[in-house]
Structure 1
Amino acid sequence: MKSALALALLLAAGTAAADIKVLVAVDPSDRESMAIGVLDIGASLTRAAGVPARMSKSQDLSDAMRSTRTGEFDVYIAPAHVAASALSHGYTLVGSTEPDDVYQLVAKTGTKATADLKGGRIYLTQQDSVGAYVARGMLNESGQSLKTFKEVLYRRTSGAGLFAIDTGMVDATVAKRVDVDQWVKSGTAKGAPLITSRAVPGGMTVVLKKDMPEAVRAKVEGWFLSPSGAMPGIGRVAYRPDVATYRYVAALGNWTPAQLPGAKVVTAEEVSTLARSGVAIVDVRTAKEFGEKRIAGAVSIPYGEKSVKDVAFDPKADEFALPDAMDRAKPVIFHCNGPECWKSYKAAQVALSRGFKTVYWFRGGMPEWERNGLALDTSKPSPDRIAAAAPAPTAVAATKR
């Protein structure tokens, strides 16, 4: 109660200054996440920075990653894969609270290769967790994917996958090497590691937006790196991982494939050329993102993503309605928030399955478009550019840039 009151007074005193938006993104499978003292962190950070720290906490790691691509927060305190996404979109690294981890893909006794797991079951923590990201990456590196398995069991309890192998519930799991070592040493393990990952930043990582005012950024970074920067339920930033480890995590689990069979992958310049020739651009980001900024001439048809981020996704689990009026014989471009965003990949796949003859996938999406300095529309979108009211591609294509 005292910390909440102190924070409220500090916020009231600092209303004239720009605030700092902070997101604490936690993995629901982490039992310690319930003990994180967000109000205490906010009060201490407010005092150190001299401006109000507006604290948010979320267990929706998918949405946390989405927000890194649009720069919605100034500070992220988050698992490695969320931080990796932020570092690719205008943020800088402060450090992590724990040393690097190494993960292992573990399989039941007798398994010689990942191909032997075809038709089996695998246990993973929630699909946007670090463990699940590493699992997808190791499977991809071995020439397999989650579609290798008959069933993927996503659970919120970390570390239970090894027990599930022992009981015969599953055929494989992914766990930290330190846990696997202890399991094997017990002498009762009914499995063994097949693949070992490279180093992955451990604990929680802190990143800051690069365009924060320099004086404020220096104070914020200084607080995180000082003894007083110990965060209840999280700990101190005590390690400085190699940035390459974050690139490794990003490439492992959260990036879309480089190709999409049946569709042509295009660059920002190619999209610009195609648009000038009348090809429709379908923006499958959220309506909020579309309203804030978009490629000039694009139409909004948001992709409601609930399926796994995998080439073997089930489109029936998602919500995506292509208007019947859209001419399947006309070419169309799909895009969203870059290589980490699966929505445009899935939308393009759905379009191909529904008879569209020429599908372009702009994998680089808005980040690539902006890096190339191409035209953006930030005006209020007209109703005929949004979702269910979307016109046929012929009508969109006819609109001048």
Structure 2
Amino acid sequence: MGRVLAWTLWALAFASAQAAADLKVMVAVDPSDREAIVISVIDLQATLTRVTGQSVSAIRSGDLGDVMRSTRTGEYDVYIAPAHVAASALGHGYALIGSTERDETYQLVAKPGVTTPGELKNGKIYLTQQDSVGAYMARGMLNESGQSLKIFQQVMYRRTSGAGLFAIDTGLVDATVAKSTDVESWVKQNNSKATVVLSSRAVPGGMSVVVKKTLADATRARLENWLLSPAGTISGIGRVAYRSDPANYKYVSALGNWTPSQLPGATIVTAAEVLALQQKGVPIVDVRIAKEYQEKHIRGAISIPYAEKSLKDVAFDPAMDEWAGPQLLDKNKAVIFHCNGAECWKSYKAARVALTKGFKSVYWFRGGFPEWDEHGLAVESLPTTMAETASRVAQPVLPAAATKAH
């Protein structure tokens, strides 16, 4: 009896160890019809098992929201996924192998006569499902332009990616988002009068493959060598024949949370302009968290952290956030707000709140601390109180590398 129990426990332990040793692969499929490709998970498992020499567990999912969540917690060793999912993974401990198609651009297309996103207010927009690449790009491009999906009276989410252009020409909707190649083809073949309102930058095409950086070197090498070889075609997906510039993935990743490129009522300034304003006595307000400010900040900047709880959207609700700026600053004097660059919403929100509170002269340093640091301008690491800053804010801030304190 004891031997049987021991054998059973050993078998269970062995099975558990084998399961734990499986290479976990996630195949994330865009829910729009164009990307609803036929993939045999069983064939994929067999192929990758042969290539890597170890057991592979592959899962296919069309729930891209949940898949993106899993990239942040590192639940899979390999992701084969659309660009926005791969971009999220690359920001959370994964490395790029490549993509199955060339880069592409997305365009916000509207009915004839529309030239700006604002003119679509109270209209209808057709998008593929909420977690699809098209819907993701729509939200990002609108945010970047200073607008939001909330300007539309109705957002129609559907599975058919090509129907949006047809819906515009038939008057069913006012706008849609589509790949530029599809737009060009549709306009040419159907003599469409639809107009392009916004265009994205380059976006990695097809499906991208990323692997966890902590994956065993030998396993990672086998995977990469096979995927990049002429024989490395994934059934139903294609061959990883392209490698987009990493900056394109960073763009896609940030686009989901990208701040607008304009802010009515405020003046958007560059690092050089901020330096000139500071030398004239205009205070620079750093709204990042206190820890970031103490580690390194613009020399002479004031720290007034913006506690952000609202959505990263132009239609954010300031009542959900906490910020002491209006109580600590003089609304009759000019002020500059900044945080961690164009993808950081805190300074945008702070500037918006200041404007609504009646501040007379608001400057928004959209590029924020990253832009300042990249230009070699003076920084410091010690905390600076408002009193200390006030006593020296009019002093010149020299950009020479020798003045930089880390």
Place the TM-score, normalised by the shorter chain, in its bin. Answer: 0.5 to 0.7
> Is the contact between residue 94 and residue 221 of structure 1 (CA under 8 Å) also seen in structure 2?
yes
The yes-or-no answer on 1:158 pairing with 2:168 is: no
Q: CA deviation at 1:239?
A: 0.3
The yes-or-no answer on 1:145 pairing with 2:144 is: no
Number of the residue aligned with 1:266: 289
Number of the residue aligned with 1:223: 226
Q: How does 1:198-213 map to 2 (within 5 A)?
A: 198-213=201-216
2: CA distance, partners of 1:211 / 1:187: 50
> Is the contact between residue 104 and residue 202 of structure 2 (CA under 8 Å) also seen in structure 1?
yes
1:124 equivalent among 122, 127, 144: 127
- RMSD between superposed Cα atoms in Å: 4.1
The yes-or-no answer on 1:114 pairing with 2:117 is: yes
1: CA distance, partners of 2:67 / 2:119: 35
Number of the residue aligned with 2:71: 68
2: CA distance, partners of 1:231 / 1:160: 28
Q: CA deviation at 1:115?
A: 1.2
Q: CA deviation at 1:188?
A: 3.3
Q: CA deviation at 1:176?
A: 0.7
> Is the contact between residue 29 and residue 37 of structure 2 (CA under 8 Å) also seen in structure 1?
no
Q: Deviations over 1:98-118 (max 9, x none)?
A: 111111110100112111111
Q: CA deviation at 1:31?
A: 4.1
The yes-or-no answer on 1:244 pairing with 2:247 is: yes
Give SS of 1:15's match: helix
2:138 equivalent among 120, 135, 139: 135
Counterpart of 1:178 in structure 2: which amino acid? T
Q: CA deviation at 1:253?
A: 2.0
Structure 2 runs not aligned, ≥5 long: 1-13, 262-286, 295-308, 318-340, 347-406
Number of the residue aligned with 2:338: none
Q: CA deviation at 1:254?
A: 4.7
Aligned residues: 291
Give SS of 1:228's match: coil
Q: CA deviation at 1:229?
A: 2.1
1: CA distance, partners of 2:159 / 2:196: 22
The yes-or-no answer on 1:233 pairing with 2:236 is: yes
Give SS of 1:72's match: coil
> Is the contact between residue 135 and residue 253 of structure 1 (CA under 8 Å) also seen in structure 2?
no
Number of the residue aligned with 2:270: none
Q: Deviations over 1:191-233 (max 9, x none)?
A: 1111211110000000000011111111111121123321111
Q: CA deviation at 1:20?
A: 0.8
The yes-or-no answer on 1:173 pairing with 2:196 is: no
The yes-or-no answer on 1:53 pairing with 2:56 is: yes
1: CA distance, partners of 2:180 / 2:190: 16
User: Quick one: percent identity of the two aligned structures?
Assistant: 65
Structure 1 runs not aligned, ≥5 long: 1-10, 259-263, 272-283, 285-307, 315-338, 340-344, 346-401
1:29 equivalent among 28, 32, 35: 32
Q: Deviations over 1:71-99 (max 9, x none)?
A: 11000000000000000011000000011
2: CA distance, partners of 1:269 / 1:36: 45
Counterpart of 1:28 in structure 2: which amino acid? P
2: CA distance, partners of 1:129 / 1:17: 31
Q: CA deviation at 1:142?
A: 1.9
Give SS of 1:22's match: strand
Relative to 1, partners in 2 of residues 1:110 and 1:40: Cα closer, same or farther, differing over 3 Å?
Answer: same
The TM-score normalised by the length of structure 2 is: 0.62
2:47 equivalent among 38, 44, 47: 44
> Is the contact between residue 95 and residue 206 of structure 1 (CA under 8 Å) also seen in structure 2?
yes
Q: How does 1:84-123 map to 2 (within 5 A)?
A: 84-123=87-126
Q: CA deviation at 1:169?
A: 1.0
The TM-score normalised by the length of structure 1 is: 0.62
The yes-or-no answer on 1:182 pairing with 2:146 is: no
Relative to 1, partners in 2 of residues 1:205 and 1:191: Cα closer, same or farther, differing over 3 Å?
Answer: same
> Is the contact between residue 165 and residue 190 of structure 1 (CA under 8 Å) also seen in structure 2?
no
> Is the contact between residue 109 and residue 191 of structure 1 (CA under 8 Å) also seen in structure 2?
yes
Relative to 1, partners in 2 of residues 1:51 and 1:232: Cα closer, same or farther, differing over 3 Å?
Answer: same
Kindly name which structure, 1 or 2, has the bigger radius of gyration based on alpha carbons. 2
2: CA distance, partners of 1:210 / 1:177: 34
Give SS of 2:18's match: coil
